[in-house]
């Protein structure tokens, strides 16, 4: 991995002779030594886990595998975020990728959870068995907060986001109607509380004409909403 020896030594000393105690309904347990794992709530822990996962993926040699798909003229066979790993291929060679990751994970003490592993295919696929357990085949799954479907239909996902947007704007309704809060502050609130709800995962959407009209209607709604806020803050419509 190319990590300098002095950093490795510092990390080894940080984790050496660690002890912990569990809090139960009957009080705290006796202190015991920690043999494996990373420090809870330590700012280094996410980086260390990512290095651990990177070590596994490099040894699995997925970059050299022929199983992959092409996205924007780039060949890709895996997407990773923390402990979430998505493997991709255009054929059932996908299973060979999965087995490589499983084997390399086992070598460093990690176990692939078959119960949490799902397969989604755009066409017919035979069931897989790994270590005597059948891997579940699904027609959709949640990927980084977005629902990905086998047929690529994003209409339900876009509807869900637009409905969540209405709820996000209804909750602070009393704030938006207050004349004591300036218009720029209200605009910042909308950008911070509403836009992320609608736009989360939008990069993965396949937008059709129907969805485009819904999004255009949402933009028009926001235009009217900001216009009402402007009139409200200017005092238009107040009783004389």
pLDDT in tens, the chain (240 residues): 678 888 889 888 888 888 888 888 899 999 988 877 777 778 888 888 888 888 888 888 887 777 778 777 788 888 887 778 888 888 778 888 888 888 998 888 888 888 888 888 887 777 888 888 888 888 888 877 778 888 878 888 888 888 888 777 777 777 777 878 888 888 888 888 888 888 888 887 888 888 889 889 888 888 888 777 777 767 654 444
CB environment 145-155: b (16+ within 10 A), e (fewer): ebebbeeeebe
3-state secondary structure at position 20: strand
Residue 28 confidence (pLDDT): 92
Q: How far, in Å, are 67, 125, 126, 153 from residue 129 at the CA level?
A: 19, 13, 10, 29
Contact assessment for residue 186 and residue 230, using Cβ atoms and an 8 Å cutoff: no
Alpha-carbon distance of 53 to 83, in angstroms, equals: 7
Query: At a CB cut-off of 8 Å and minimum separation 6, what does 121 contact?
Result: 137, 150
Pairing assessment for the beta strands 27-28 and 23-24 based on DSSP bridges: antiparallel
Beta bridge partners of 20: 32
Residue 30 confidence (pLDDT): 92
Residue 31 confidence (pLDDT): 92
Residue among 226, 218, 161 at smallest CA distance from 190: 226
Measured in whole angstroms, the distance separating CA 226 from the mean position of its chain's CA atoms is: 31
Strand (E) or helix (H) holding 94: helix 94-107
- Please provide residue 131's backbone torsions phi and psi, each rounded to the nearest 5 degrees: 55, 40
Residue 85 confidence (pLDDT): 84
Tokens linked to 131: 């270590």
Residue 233 confidence (pLDDT): 67
Alpha-carbon distance of 133 to 193, in angstroms, equals: 43
DSSP 122: S
Residue among 129, 108, 23 at smallest CA distance from 58: 108
The count of other CB atoms within 10 Å of the CB of residue 100 is 19
């Amino acid at each position: 991995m190319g990590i300098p020896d002095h950093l490795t030594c510092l990390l080894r000393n940080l984790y050496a002779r660690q002890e912990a105690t569990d809090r139960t309904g009957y009080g705290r347990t006796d202190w015991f030594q920690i043999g494996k794992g990373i420090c809870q709530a330590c700012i280094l822990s996410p980086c260390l886990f990512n290095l651990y996962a990177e070590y596994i993926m490099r040894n699995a040699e997925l970059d050299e595998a022929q199983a992959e798909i092409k996205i924007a003229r780039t060949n890709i066979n895996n997407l990773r975020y923390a402990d979430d790993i998505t493997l991709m291929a255009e054929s059932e060679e996908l299973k060979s990728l999965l087995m490589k990751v499983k084997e390399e994970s086992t070598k460093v003490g990690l176990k692939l959870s078959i119960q949490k592993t799902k397969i989604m295919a755009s066409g017919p696929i035979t069931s897989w068995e790994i270590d005597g357990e059948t891997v579940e085949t699904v027609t959709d799954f949640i990927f980084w907060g977005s629902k990905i479907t086998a047929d690529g239909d994003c209409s339900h996902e876009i509807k869900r986001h637009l409905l969540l947007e209405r709820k996000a704007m209804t909750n602070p309704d009393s704030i938006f109607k207050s004349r004591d809060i300036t218009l720029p502050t209200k605009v910042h609130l909308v950008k911070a509380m509403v836009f992320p709800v609608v736009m989360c995962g939008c990069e993965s959407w396949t937008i059709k004409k129907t969805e485009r009209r819904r999004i255009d209607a949402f933009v028009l709604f926001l235009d009217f909403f900001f216009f009402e806020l402007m009139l409200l803050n200017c005092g238009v419509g107040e009783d004389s």
